[in-house]
Structure 1
Amino acid sequence: MRPALVFVHGIGGARDPRSECAAWLAALAVGARKAGHRAEAAPPSLTGLAEPAFVYYGDLFAARQPQGVAGPDPADAEELRNLLHELIEVRLELEPDPRERRILDHARAELRPPGPDRSAAELLRRIVSVCTTLLALPGLRRTGQWAGGRLMAGHLAQVVRYLARAERDAAGLPLDRRIRERFLDRLDADRPVVVVAHSLGSVVAMEALHHHRGPVPLFVTLGSPIGMRAVVRPRLQPQPPAVPGCVERWLNFWDRDDIVVPRPRLEDDVLPNARGCRPVTGRIDSDGLWTHTATKYLAQASVAGPVVEAVRGATEAGST
C-alpha cells in the first residue's frame, strides 16, 4: 500500500480541490528538482510513490457569508483586532526597514481602540482600514490574493472563527470539529501519511493528529500561526500545545516576508511528544511577492526535499 501525501490548505476563499492538489504537486516537483531529486521532479512521479489527497474545508467558512461576501463579521471584530495587533507588534520587533516601519506604525495607530462606547461595526471599519494599510507591505503588495482590506480581514477572521469553537450545524457539531473531520476522513490508520499543512491548516492538522493512531513519518507546516501567543496558542486543543503522539518528525518553515507568521519558532511554543519529537523551524526566502502561499513554500528545495525523502522512505518501508 502506497503511503498517503495529504495537503491541508489555509485561510482564503473558495478553491477547486482537484486543481489545487495539482498545483501543490507541481510546486513540490519544482522544489524536488532544486533539491536534486530528479526522479521525482514531475507530479506523475510523486503520485507513483504516494497517494495524494487535498483536504478542502473552505466551503464550511463560506456557509455563514451572506450572498458569498467574504468580509469579516462584527462578532469577530475584537479577536480579529487582537490578532492584527500581535501581527503588527511582533513585526515591529524584527527591526524592519524604514519604509516598512512607516507602514506598520500607521497601521498600529489606526488599530488603537475607539472610545469606550465604540461599536463592533466601528471597530470593524478600523480593522478593514488597517488591513488596507498592511497591503502595502513587502510580500503583500502587487498581488491579486487580496483585492482589498475587507477581503484580507475576512480571510484572517477564519482563524478567529475556527478557534471560537462555535457555529454549530444542525447536528450540533461546531465549525472546528467539522473541519478536523474533513482532514481525519482522508487518513488511514494502516497507511503511513506525510502531512503538509499551510497557514490555518497547520492548526487544523496539529489538533486533528492528536486523534490519529497511524504513523506520520513527517509533518510539515508552512507559514503557521501556531506560535501566536495572544489569539492562537492559548486556544489550541489540547493544552498545553504538544506534538501529536503519532508524529515522528516535524519540520516548520517560514518566510521573512510572510506577515501571517509573527512568531515562527514553534519549538518555543509546542512541547515534544513521548518519542521526543518537536518542531524544527527553518527559514526560506522567496521573491517577496505574496509569500503567504503554499506553492511558494513547496517550490523551495529545503521544503520539498524532506517531503520527497519521507514519501520515498515510507514507500520503500512498505515494500519490504
Structure 2
Amino acid sequence: MTKPNLTTGDLKRRDILFRLGGACVAGLGLSTVAPATKPNGQREQRRSGKVFPKFAKEVSRIGWVKVVGPVAQFELADVSGTWKLPRADWYNAGDEPLRRLIKALSDLRYLRALPTPTKQESAASQIDPRKGGDGVWLTLEADDRTPLATLILAKRGEQTLVQLAGETALYEVNSVDWPSFTNPSAWLDLPKLDFAPERIATVSLARPGQGQLDIVRRPDGGFAPVGGKANPLITDIALLLGRLEFQDTRRANRLTGPTRFSHETSLKSGLVIALDGHEDEGHYWVKLRMDASQAASPEEGDRLAAQTDQWAFEIPAKSWTLLTTPTDLLLQAGP
C-alpha cells in the first residue's frame, strides 16, 4: 500500500519515537547465541539477553507497522511525520499505543528455548496466523520496506512465546506491556467528548416522522422533557454527549442514506454541538456539527471542529437504539 502524498506539518510522533529510542540506547543488552548439544547429538541455538538488541538505534527509521492476527490485521504508516491508519481512511493514530509497542519491543528478553525439535516444529506451525495459527505476526519496517523487527507472538497460559523471522525455533520471553493487536480502533486518536453534566443547558432530539423532543435542566439539576416528567431514558439522552465513546472512524463522504436523527446539545457557554446519525452496512455513525456563534469561548468549538470536520465516527449500538426510540415511548418510560 502506497502512502498518500499528505502534508500535515506535524512531526511530533516521529520525534516521540526517536526520543524514546534514544532513551533505550543506554539500556541495550547484547543477545548471545551459544550452541548446545542435545541427547541425540544434534545442536540447537540458545539465546539470552534482548530479543532485538539493536532495535533502539533503529527506532527513528520506522515508517510502517504491520499486524496480522487471527482476529484482525492492520497497518500503520508514518506520513510526513504523522502516524495514520490506512484502514480508517488514513486517520491519525494515537501516541500511546505506539509508545507501548516501542517500549515492549525494547524490553523483550529471552527466557529459554523450547526443549525439543518436535515441540518446536509443532508449536511453530500452530502460532503463525498466516498459516492458520493463533499467534500475532508483527513487523516494523523502514520507509523503504527494510525490516527492522519481525516476530510472531503467542500466548500459552502465562507464557509468551516468540518465533523470529526465518527461524523454526520457539523461545519463551518475558512479559511486557503490549498494545492491543485485536482491536485496530484502539490505535486511533479518536476525539473524546468529556463534557461534564453541569455544563449542559438544553438538549433536543429530532427524527423524521417523530415529534421533536426538547429537554431542559430542572431546578434540582436533573433533566426533563418540556411539559413532561423526568425518567432514566430522558436523562441518558440529555447526558449522551459526555458519555459517548467513539469506536471507529471513516471519511464522512463515504456514508450513504438519510440522516436518522439529529441530537443537539447546548452548553451553558453557548456552544452547540450536534450529532447527525447515519446507518451504513450494519454500523452506526455520527457526523458532528458545531455552532459557536453564541459561544462565550468559541475556541473550544474550533478545536473540536478541527478534529471532526469531514469525518464520521462509529457509536455503540445501544446509543443508536436510544436515539432512535420513538418519542412517545421515551416519554412513557418509567422511573
TM range (shorter): under 0.3
The alignment's TM-score, normalised by the length of structure 1, stands at 0.20
- More RCO (CA 8 Å, sep 6+): 1
Higher-Rg member (1/2):
2
The alignment's TM-score, normalised by the length of structure 2, stands at 0.20
Q: Which has the higher strand share?
A: 2
